[in-house]
Amino acid sequence: MGLLFAAIATALRLTWVLLVPSRPVGDFALYLESAAYLLEHGAFDSEFIYMPGYVLLLAAVQALGGGVLCAKLVGVVLSGAAAWPVFGIATRLFDRRAGVIAATLYTLWPAGIAVASVTGTDMPTAALLITATYLLVCLGDQRPWRAAVLFGLVLGLAATVRAVAVPLAALAVFYWLAAGARLPAALARTAAGCAVAALVLLPWGIRNQRVYGEFFLTDSHGGHTALVGSNPNSDGVYTRSLNQIFWKGTGYKLFDPPHRASDRAAYQLARSWAAFEPAFALGLVVAKADRLLTLERPLLYWPVYRQGVLPDGARAWFDAHRGDLERLVDGCWYFLVAAAAIGFVVALSRRHWRALALTLIPLALTALYASFFSEVRYHLAIAIFIFPFAGLALRTLIDGPGELFAGRLNRRDRRRLARELLGSLAVVILIFVGWPRLVSAGAAIRDRHRWAATVCTVGDRSQVCSWRAATPPPSPVRGVWNGVGLRPRADSEVAAVTALPLAAGQYRITATIDSALPSIEPSVDVTLRTGSNAVAEVALPAPAGAPAASVDAIVDHPGGLLEFRFAAAPIPGRPTSDFPSVWLSDLAVRVKD
C-alpha cells in the first residue's frame, strides 16, 4: 500500500513538473551551476559554502546526460517516495486506516506538489528526514540496533543536503525511552546512530580540513544566515544593504572568501546584535516563526510567481487564478494544522508515547530556524511530520461518532472520546486564536524596542554603530546601512542614541541630516562620559529649516564614551502615519589634525 501511494504521489508531482515548465533561478540555479563546475573541474568552486549532498546528486544526473528536467526529477522522486514512510509511520504507530488517510493527505498536498518543480534542497531534506524516522519506527521494536544504525545513516545523508539535520540524531534518545528502553540502552543506541551519521559526514569533514585547515561536519555559512536573521533594519529578512554593513563593519563580504573567518565574524556580529536589545531579538524570533509556519502561499513564489520563472503564457494563467490558488494552498495548510493538533491530543490521550516523541524533530527544526533565519520553504521538513497525526485525527473523527451511535463503545471509551473531542476543540481554538495574538505580540515588542545598525567611521576605519530609541515607545528608530532615521511625532520629541568608546583627544565630528519636510528641526547633541558619569553636553551646530544640513564640529573629549543623541522636534497637527523620516547619515568621528 505504501508503494502505491508513493507511485501516485510521484505521478502527480511529475505531471506538475511537465505542465509547469519553471526555470531555476537564484539559489536553485546556483545548485545546478555548482554541479556543472564540480563535474568539469572535479572539485567545488571556491565560492561553494553549502552542504554537498544535493549538488553531488545533480552532478550525477548531469554526468548521465540529464538536463534541467532530469534534475527536477530528483526532487520529484524523493518527494513522491516520501508518501511511503508517511504511510508506514502512521500505520505502525496508530493503525492502517490512519496510515491510508495520512498518505492520501500527503499525496494530494498542494504545496508539496507545487514545490516539486523547484531544484532546491528543502523537499529532498524533508523526504530523507521522514524516511530516517520511518526506519526508526519500523525496525525499532524487533531490531533496535539495526533501526539505530539505519536512522543514523539516512539522517547523515539528510545532513549532507541540509546541515540543520546534524543535531537531530541526538533526539532519538527520547524515542527509545518512549519505546520502553532503559536509559543506558537508549543512550547507547542514540550514540550508535550519531556515530553512523558522523561517519557519513566524515569525507566532508576531511575535505574541509584540506580546504580550510580545520575539521568540521557542517557548512560554512551558518554565521551568515544568523546575521541575516538578526538584522534589525529588516526584521530578519535579507536585504542587500546588509552586505554593506557587514563589509564596512568587519572587512569581510557576505558569503565571500575567506569563508571560515567571514562566517565567524558574521556570527559574532549576530550575537552582539541579539545581546544589544534582547527584547527585540525575542520579537524577531516570533517574526521568523510566523514567516516559517503561518502561511503556505509564499511557497508558490519559487515555482510560479517569481519574476522570470515561467514563460509569459503559463504565467498569465497563474496570474488570473492567483487568488483562488493562494486560498486553496492556505486552506489546505490550515486544515492540516487543525487535523495534526487533534491528532496530537488523541495521541496524548491514548498514550502513544513513541508518536509524541517524534514531535521533537519538527519542534527542534522550528526552534533552529526561528532562532537563526527562516523562509517558508524551510517548513517543508517540518510540515511532513504532521501527516501521521492528521491521519490519526481524521480516522478518529470518522470512526468515533459512528461507534458511539452504534453503541459499540463502553462507558470508559465514551468518556475518553468526549475528553478527546473537547480537548481537540480547545487546542484548535488555542492555535487559531492564540497564534495570531502571539504574532501580534511579537510585532508589538519589536515596535517598542526597535533599533538600528548602521555603519559609521571612527578614526580611519568603519565600524557598526548601534542606535536605540531615547524616547518612550513605540520606537521611532529605523535604520539603513549608512544612517539612522526617526519618525517624528505630533506631541513629543523623538530621539535615538549611540555611544562610542574613545580615547582622550580632540575629535572632528561630521554627519549629514536629511529631512523631507523643511519644518522639521533636527538636532544632534554629544554627551561626554567617563564611566557612567556625564562630563559635558555639547550641542553640535546643524542649520535648521533645510532639507539637508551638514554637521561639522570639534569636540574635546576627556576619554570614555562619546554618546550621540539625534533628535527631531514634534510636528503638531499632522497624522502620525504621514510623518516623513529624518535621517542622520555618514556619521564620522576622526582625530582632529
pLDDT digits (tens, 9 = 90+) for 559-585: 888 889 898 888 777 655 556 678 889
Burial of 506 (C-beta count, 10 Å sphere; 0-12/13-18/19+) = exposed
Give the phi and the psi of residue 212 in degrees, each rounded to 5: -105, -10
Q: CA-to-CA distance for 72 and 62, rounded, in angstroms?
A: 12
Contact 76, 13 (CB under 8 A): yes
Identify how many contiguous H helices and E strands the chain contains and give both numbers.
Answer: 22, 11
DSSP state of 180: T
Q: What is the pLDDT at residue 254?
A: 80
SS3 content of the chain, % helix, strand, coil (to 5): 60, 15, 25
Q: Using DSSP bridges, classify how beta strands 582-591 and 451-458 pair: parallel, antiparallel or unpaired.
A: parallel
Q: CA-to-CA distance for 375 and 146, rounded, in angstroms?
A: 35
pLDDT digits (tens, 9 = 90+) for 169-205: 999 999 999 999 999 999 999 999 999 999 999 999 9
Tell me which residue of 80, 35, 27, 79 sits closest to 54, measured CA to CA: 35
Q: What is the pLDDT at residue 546?
A: 53
- CA dihedral angle for residue 162, residue 168, residue 170, residue 175, rounded to 10 degrees: -140
Question: 447-476 burial, b if ≥16 CB within 10 A, otherwise e?
Answer: eebbbbbbbbbbeeebebbbbbbbbeebbb
| pTM greater than 0.95 | no
Write out residues in the chain with pLDDT < 70, as ranges: 402-409, 517-521, 530-536, 541-548, 574-580
Residue 581, helix vs strand vs coil: coil
**Count of CB atoms situated within 10 Å of the CB of 390:** 27
Contact 380, 122 (CB under 8 A): yes
Q: What is the pLDDT at residue 256?
A: 84
Which DSSP helix (H) or strand (E) runs through 494? strand 494-502
